[in-house]
Amino acid sequence: MRFELNGAPADVEAPPMKRLLDVLREECGLTGTKEGCGEGECGACTVLVSGEPVCSCLVPFAHVRGAKVTTVEGLGGNHPLQRAFAEEGAAQCGICTPGMLLAALALPPGATLEEIRAGLAGNLCRCTGYTAIYRAVQRGK
């Protein structure tokens, strides 16, 4: 099935109802996307599908036919958001971090603190208390 993955054309064979999360990690070898709850509650598995954050644990692979999928690997490692997360101490265990980064990427430039809080409301973090994450997103956007 053809789609766009991190800016490049992809053609991946996988069962259509397999979870996007698993296709990304297993068929595509992109293990940056994490599984937390597996039930759409924690946001750890967030990726962008055509610019919108989705829980990849809830999305069947068939859903992304022809779509643009962005994972944390698509940020390249030196994205301003990634640098800001490192500099602000916004990642501790790191399980929530890829999903936080993708949810933050989908926010408009210059998003207010309230917009950041709302945009990240579906992404849970058990480590940081969120303040450093909000600071990093404000700095990296």
CB of 43 to ligand FES, least distance (A): 5
Q: In this structure, are residues 86 and 94 in contact, taking their beta carbons and an 8 Å threshold?
A: no
Cα torsion 66, 74, 21, 100: sign: negative
Exactly one of 20, 55, 84, 120 binds ligand FES (CB under 6 A); that residue is 55
Answer yes or no whether residue 41 interacts with ligand FES by CB under 6 A: yes
Residue length of the chain: 141
CB of 68 to ligand FES, least distance (A): 20
**Cβ neighbours of residue 49 under 8 Å, at least 6 residues apart?**
20, 59, 63, 64, 67, 68, 69
Q: Name the residue nearer to ligand FES (CB basis): 11 or 60.
A: 60
CB of 45 to ligand FES, least distance (A): 3
Answer yes or no whether residue 118 interacts with ligand FES by CB under 6 A: no
Alpha-carbon span 130 to 65, nearest angstrom? 34
Q: Which string of x and - marks every residue 63-102 that binds ligand FES (by CB under 6 A)?
A: ----------------------------xxxxxx------
